[in-house]
Amino acid sequence: MPPSQKGPVPLLGAGLQFELLSALDSKDFRVRKILVAARAAGIPVALKTCSAEAIGEQAPAAKALALRITRPTSAHPSYITQSNAIVRTLIDASETSGLYGDTEFARSQVDSWLELCWLELETPLAVLQQAKGHGDVIAEAKKLILHALTAVNAALAARTYLVGNRLTAADIALACAAQPILGAAASVLSGKDLATLPHAARWYMTVTHHAAFATGTSSSRGGGGGGGAAARAGVSAAALAAANSTVDAAFYQASAVHTDKPLSMVAPAKYRRRRVRVKELLARGAAAAGETVVVRGWLKTARSGAKDTLLFLVVNDGSCHSSLQVVASRDGTEGFAAAASCGGVGACVAVEGPIIESPAKGQVIEMQAKKVEVLGPVYQSDGSIGAADYPLAKKAHSLEYLRTHAHLRPRTMVYSAVMRVRNAMAYATHRFFNERGFVYVHTPLLTGADCEGAGEQFVVTTLLPAAAEGHACGGRVELPRLADGSIDYTKDFFSKRACLTVSGQLNVETYCSAMSDVYTFGPTFRAENSHTSRHLAEFWMIEPEIAFADLEDDMNLAEDYLKYLVAHALEHCDEDLTYFESKDCPGGEADLRARLRNVLENDFVRITYTRAVALLEEHIASGKVKFQNPVSWGVDLASEHERYITETVYKCPVVVTNYPKEIKAFYMKLDADGKTVSAMDILVPKIGEIIGGSQREESFDVLSQRAAAMGLEPAAISWYADLRRYGTMKHAGFGLGFERLILFITGIENIRDVIPFPRYPGHCEF
């Protein structure tokens, strides 16, 4: 793939050509490290073998390796000469690889592993190549190597990768250097020493299975003539034995499926983004100074200064919370006059110019605009350009006010931050389940079944418009009726009564009964007339279903999942979480991240419904609390009860189990006592119920009896009951309300403010 066709490389510039000049053997670990990193980053690099002298003539700082970078705009190539610096340059040239970690902290971790790799693996390995016959030197080099791999081994005891949850440059560098030690033709360490490195051996197998390692390394993969799994994995027999000694159930759970392998056959990218995102620019900080870039976005503020000879524009493109400050001047900026009269806040602009270190407080860098193009001015109702009518012109607005402008609220700080967190949580959800080998099943939104049996469905019909059209003049709607006066749905679109789904669970269970671990993630609809800050008529739900699993497995998966989401938010949404903690955020929660960390660091409390009710009764009796809703065994817990248990009593997430069968759905497994079902609700501070789930009734007879007792038509659920007739199995699942999760992660108070277009009683605007 020629670099000019690759995706955008705005910070290093477009159209770069990379050539690796090497005086080393092509199988040398440094060469391999660079080529594997380049492949993983999707950056084409041509390998050119030359003499060390020839390289030195072009790049005096080089010994045996140099990366030559040629730019279309310059006749003079530049050179990078240290192997780790070369790796970093290539990764930086790739926008999307994430190989240097996703946060500043992760970058530092990658750097420290690279340093350890260089000092304690690559250097002693280079010494070993030269030290034939010098026993003491060889022994010292091997000691250093064992020391380095012992550190790697310890770091990997409970992890798949060295940094974060995906392959990084740290894994690539260390795995390439470790090849003579852990690879198929390993000879450096003794079998006894290798036996002490089981986690490193398992990691080496995982990492070297990445597609980036596949080409050009055939001699190390599957070589050795012995065949078999060890040789195929490119790992030495002794290392494989060591790895297998710890390949227990926990390992399979933690690292069973990897979804982030880079594609080996990806087509050359055609899409080129002709701008730098504000996020990318600000992440570079002062290092971006001196570059000339193009940024496009919407004005957050615009003010003039120095007697109208300067314009200070704050441009935001939604890529991150922060904006770019742009300074335009009457004398130095093309398009200054148009920019000065573009209508101000809300106008869409393209700005181009050099980045400088900001002389003012509040930002590290800013742009000195050479050119401002007003792409979309702000108009007033009389057609003139001006700020008078723009609904978000003022700085601070209440969330209630913003709800009435749901089409413009994505431009506000609070709302774009919520949307970035939503996106991160959706991504983390797919990542969590795919890493664990779950299959995403798309369940239907139109259904004839009422999963929860609560009668809160929206009916979907074409009878009304058809009838209304037929009676357009009279205005009366004549519905087809049966003899008893009820609506004749056989005349409707589906020849039966159909509704919007309240849950994908029943459908996803059918796939669980064939594909074992599945999940669905989609919108669900409930016509409950709840005017609370926790209910929507349209909300999104994630529903995993696990085969061969009971209630305890279900609780464990739910706790892992919720903690994974929290960890993902803390690691990837730090800037937005910091904003949600600030006074600038309407209703900001000062200790938001401490609350989230608390969830991550502690086991969830697990109590039965019976215990929860007893506890509430004790607290009421001792005068500790008063509730509006009465509590006794058999009632459904109200939100005030749930929040008291999680916020006041335990101050952490609480899983309440084994509810009375009368208040739960027909599909939940009946407990041995005949009174309760194997259900669980997870209650969290600030929200109350965030997850509801259960083990499913696997007996055909019991399921049929429970359905009949709850007044369900046997014909309506016959397909669902069939699963119990044909190969039934123990299984369980749960549903996480996605918007309640976003409330939990952001600290926002009202569920109507965490979904792009909220639907609730009386409101279906936009």
| Residue in 179, 197, 190 with CA at minimum distance from that of residue 235 | 179
Rounded to a whole number of angstroms, the minimum distance from the CB of residue 533 to Mg ion is 17
CB 184 within 8 A of CB 221: yes
Question: Is 68 near ligand 4AD (CB under 6 A)?
Answer: no
Nearer to Mg ion, 349 or 656 (CB): 656
685 or 692: CB nearest Mg ion: 692
Q: Determine the residue type at 129.
A: Q
- In a 10 Å sphere around its CB, with 0-12 CB exposed, 13-18 middle and 19+ buried, how is residue 148 labelled? buried
Q: Sheet harboring 446-447: ordered strands across? A: 446-447, 498-500, 459-460
Q: Whose Cβ is closer to ligand 4AD: residue 92's or residue 689's? A: 689
Query: Whole-number minimum distance, CB 418 to ligand 4AD, in Å?
Result: 15
Q: Which of 171, 689, 697, 753 binds ligand 4AD (CB under 6 A)?
A: 689
Residue 619 Cβ vs ligand 4AD, minimum distance, rounded to whole Å:
24
d(CA 209, CA 684): 40
CA distance 444 to 249: 34
Residue 164 in contact with ligand 4AD, rule: CB under 6 A: no
Surface-to-core class of residue 146, CB atoms within 10 Å of its CB (0-12 exposed, 13-18 middle, 19+ buried): buried
Q: In the beta sheet, which residues pair with residue 605?
A: 654
With beta carbons less than 8 A apart as the criterion, state whether 669 and 554 touch: no
Give the footprint of ligand 4AD on residues 581-610 (CB under 6 A).
none
Pure H helices in 117-168: 123-130, 135-155
Chain positions 500 to 519 lying near ligand 4AD, rule: CB under 6 A, are 503, 505
Q: How far is the CB of 99 from ligand 4AD (least distance, A)?
A: 36
Between 124 and 692, CB nearer to Mg ion: 692
Q: What is the separation of C-alpha 227 from the centre of its chain, rounded to a whole number of angstroms? A: 39
Minimum distance from residue 734 beta carbon to Mg ion (Å): 10
For residue 684, the cross-strand partners are 688
Q: Shortest Cβ distance from residue 691 to Mg ion (Å)?
A: 8
Query: Nearest to Mg ion by Cβ — which residue?
Result: 692
> Does residue 737 bind ligand 4AD (CB under 6 A)?
yes
Tokens 């009304």 -> residue = 464
C-alpha to C-alpha distances, 401 to 318, 381, 526, 580, 750, nearest whole angstrom: 21, 20, 25, 18, 13
Query: Of the ranges 38-46, 147-155, 205-213, 736-744, which one interacts with ligand 4AD (CB under 6 A)?
Result: 736-744
Tokens of 194: 């290798």
Residue 28 lies near ligand 4AD (rule: CB under 6 A) = no
Residue 199 binds: one of Mg ion, ligand 4AD, none (C-beta under 5 to 8 A by kind): none
Question: Would you count residue 688 as binding ligand 4AD (CB under 6 A)?
Answer: no
- Residue placing its CB nearer to ligand 4AD in the complex, 213 or 519: 519
d(CA 235, CA 232): 8
H helices of 266-376, where? 278-284, 336-340
CA distances from 733 to 283, 426, 520 (A): 40, 19, 11
Asked if residue 554 binds ligand 4AD (CB under 6 A), the reply is no
| Stretch touching ligand 4AD by CB under 6 A, among 85-93, 439-447, 533-541, 650-658 | 533-541
Q: Which does 737 bind (CB under 5 to 8 A by kind): ligand 4AD, Mg ion, none?
A: ligand 4AD
Q: Based on CB atoms, which residue is closest to Mg ion, 142 or 740?
A: 740
Query: Could you tell me the smallest distance in angstroms from the CB atom of residue 669 to ligand 4AD?
Result: 12
Among the listed residues 313, 315, 358, 307, the one whose alpha carbon sits nearest the alpha carbon of residue 333: 313
Among 39, 210, 409, 740, binds ligand 4AD (CB under 6 A): 740
Burial of residue 329 (number of CB atoms within 10 Å: 0-12, 13-18, 19+): middle
Show the tokens assigned to 304: 């003039």
Q: Map 371-419 to HEC letters.
A: EEEEEECCECCCCCECCCCCCCCCCCCCHHHHHCCCCCHHHCHHHHHHH
Could you give the string, one character per residue 444-463, with x where binding to ligand 4AD holds by CB under 6 A and - elsewhere? -------xx-----------
Return the one option of Mg ion, ligand 4AD, none that residue 243 interacts with (CB less than 5 to 8 A, by type): none
747 binds ligand 4AD (CB under 6 A): no
Nearest Cα to Cα of residue 409 among 745, 748, 760 = 748
Instruction: Give the residue with the Cβ less far from ligand 4AD, 275 or 740.
Output: 740
Contacts of Mg ion in 634-693 (CB under 5 A): 692
**Between residues 531 and 583, which has the closer beta carbon with respect to ligand 4AD?**
531
**Rounded Cα gap, residues 758 and 407, in angstroms:** 11
690 binds ligand 4AD (CB under 6 A): yes
Q: For ligand 4AD, which is the closer residue by CB, 207 or 557? A: 557
Are the beta carbons of 99 and 112 closer than 8 angstroms?
Answer: no
Query: Does 429 participate in binding ligand 4AD (rule CB under 6 A)?
Result: no
Is residue 526 a contact residue for ligand 4AD (CB under 6 A)? yes
Q: Which of 733, 742, 752, 753 binds ligand 4AD (CB under 6 A)?
A: 733
**For residues 89-148, which are near ligand 4AD according to CB under 6 A?**
none
Give, in order, the Cα–Cα distances in Å from 236 to each of 32, 310, 589, 623, 658: 19, 67, 53, 68, 50
For residue 500, the minimal CB distance to ligand 4AD (Å) is 13
Residue closer to ligand 4AD (CB basis): 230 or 755? 755
Q: How far is the CB of 541 from ligand 4AD (least distance, A)?
A: 5
Q: Looking at 622-754, list the stretches that DSSP marks H as alpha helix, in order from N- to C-terminal side.
A: 639-643, 700-709, 718-725, 738-746
397 lies in the site for ligand 4AD, by CB under 6 A = no
User: Which region, judged by CB under 6 A, interacts with ligand 4AD, from 78-86, 300-308, 536-544, 593-601?
Assistant: 536-544
Structure tokens at 149: 């791999």
Using CB under 5 A as the criterion, which residues of the chain lie in contact with Mg ion when the complex forms? 692
Using CB under 6 A as the criterion, which residues of the chain lie in contact with ligand 4AD when the complex forms? 451-452, 503, 505, 526, 528, 535-536, 539, 541, 543, 689-694, 733-735, 737, 739-740
